[in-house]
Amino acid sequence: MPQNSPAPSLVWFRQDLRLDDNPALTAAVERGCPVIPVFIWAPQEEGAWPPGAASRWWLHQSLQRLDGDLRDKGARLVIREGPSLGQLQKLIDETGADAVFWNRRYEPAAIARDTDAKKELRTHGLVAESFNGNLLFEPWEVATREKKPFQVFTAFWRAVLSLPEREDPVAAPTSLRAPKTWPASIPLDTLRLEPRIDWASGLREAWQPGAAGANQRFEQFLNQAASRYKITRDLPAEPGTSRLSPHLHFGEISPRRIWHDVQGWLPLARRTGAAEHGETFLKELGWREFAHHLLFHFPHTAERPLRSRFEQFPADNNRQYLTAWQRGQTGYPIVDAGMRELWHTGWMHNRVRMIVASFLVKDLLAPWSSGAKWFWDTLVDADLANNTLGWQWSAGCGADAAPFFRIFNPVTQSRKFDPHGVYLRRWLPELASLPDKWLHEPWQAPANVLQLADVVPGRTYPDRIVDHDVARKRALEAFKSI
């Protein structure tokens, strides 16, 4: 390279698809040298968990947005196909880059890959640095007095809150210095992330992937739902949750940014008595931290239960049950509504996730991993840490798990959290004309009521595949056996 042309730095984008508060990008910019943003598609490096169909759809949109945002700063996104290390080295050869920066990931396969890449790059005399861009605290920064990882959320969260103040988010760079020539990039379409048959119209209606969509969603949440969060977050018919989960997973908004802006919002909230709602919301960020803490310290949990005793659990691999559950054909309206919301929008309300998960692992006695895999493929917010914690919590085999006798009653839950059936009717049009009284348990409805509502059990809406009272007793027996 000519002496008057400083070597560029590569910024390896992965699950940090934003310019705001991006420490790896900031580190590259601060060197004062040209910056080359790179994304490398390498699903074969994700172990047993390559991105599912809904995630790939999201990723396509998000990469497109990121490229647009980079172009506004005078840069662009260079897209390549893996192996990651090989492509990084190739780019180094092509551009004369002398440094690679990235923000950390915490999945076992990603850690192994990144550790290897860092070692290899450094062996060749390159600068290779990773940063914390995805968590409030690194998983190893939070520990019990005995320097061990936490396994109970409340204790974990107390410890987090007692740590010194987290750093403030860093603003996006105003401009990026371009290299003399841009290395070649393959067109985004060649990654074939989008489905060949277009089933994504529901996703398009529901979401705006990318940093702009993330910030818009967050702002809207702070202005509207945040001040009632503690209560309305449990009502699936209402827009009571932040819906930031996919944006957080892809790093389109940083947890530090969220933390910081909620702190700024709290004084106002205190005057109106809404502060506790903000704290409850931050606690949810805490659960995200806790999930990453657990996956980092117990990397086997993506495949096997944290409580090894549960490997003996007599799960039932009934294909027909699983298919009925996946398709929203269990005959339990709240379960079916949730599964159809998932299929249609790539997302499911958290309250309903708990209900459908409890139903799958307790009423149907299916292995928790079969639910985890379905969620992995269909959720736009599929995240190995969160998904693993959620399913193991529901199945009772994970950290801070629900006691085994806590088996959600799908009818009681439905009545409690969707009393007027707004959510049920939204996703189950075939039941829409049933009066509230029978909507939550149509099998109890008198024949004339069903007829009036155009419901033909077993034809227009499935008979329930199990009797909850019977299934509950069966589950209690199964749990006693281990």
Q: Is the dihedral of CA 187, 192, 196, 198 positive or negative?
A: negative
Q: Is the dihedral of CA 148, 284, 419, 362 positive or negative?
A: negative
Residue type, 387: N
- The minimum distance between CB 229 and DNA, in angstroms, equals 12
Site for DNA in 305-364 (CB under 7 A): 307, 309, 350-351, 354
Q: Which residue's CB is nearer to DNA, number 26 or number 394?
A: 394
- The minimum distance between CB 104 and DNA, in angstroms, equals 22
Site for DNA in 385-404 (CB under 7 A): 390, 393, 400, 402-403
Stretch that binds DNA, among 156-164, 192-200, 245-253, 451-459 (CB under 7 A): 156-164
Half-sphere exposure of 53 (CA within 13 A, CB side): 17
Q: CA-CA distance, 294 to 385, in Å (whole number)?
A: 8
- The minimum distance between CB 204 and DNA, in angstroms, equals 28
Is position 145 an interface residue for DNA (rule: CB under 7 A)? yes
Helix ranges (H only) for 124-210 are 153-162, 201-206
Q: Which helix (H) or strand (E) holds 35?
A: strand 35-41
- The minimum distance between CB 214 and DNA, in angstroms, equals 21
Peptide bond into 23 cis (omega under 30): no
Site string for DNA, 96-135 (x = CB under 7 A): ----------------------------------------
Stretch that binds DNA, among 104-112, 123-131, 257-265, 411-419 (CB under 7 A): 411-419
Site for DNA in 269-308 (CB under 7 A): 283-284, 287, 307
Stretch that binds DNA, among 71-79, 115-123, 124-132, 153-161 (CB under 7 A): 153-161
Q: Which residue's CB is nearer to DNA, number 205 or number 469?
A: 469
Q: Which residue's CB is nearer to DNA, number 13 or number 438?
A: 438
Q: CA-CA distance, 297 to 286, in Å (whole number)?
A: 16
Q: Which residue's CB is nearer to DNA, number 155 or number 268?
A: 155
Cα–Cα separations (whole angstroms), residue 130 to 89, 169, 281, 328:
17, 17, 29, 42
- Main-chain phi, psi angles of 314, to 5 degrees: -75, 75
Per CB under 7 A, the list member of 12, 13, 39, 153 interacting with DNA is 153
Q: CA-CA distance, 26 to 173, in Å (whole number)?
A: 7
Q: Which residue's CB is nearer to DNA, number 55 or number 358?
A: 358
- The minimum distance between CB 413 and DNA, in angstroms, equals 5
- Main-chain phi, psi angles of 133, to 5 degrees: -115, -5
Closest CA to 86 of 38, 54, 53: 38
Contact between residue 393 and residue 401 where contact means Cβ atoms under 8 Å apart? yes
Burial of 196 (0-12, 13-18, 19+ CB in 10 A): exposed
Q: Write out the residues near DNA by the rule CB under 7 A.
A: 144-146, 148-156, 158-159, 234, 283-284, 287, 307, 309, 350-351, 354, 390, 393, 400, 402-403, 405-409, 412-413, 416, 468-469, 472, 476
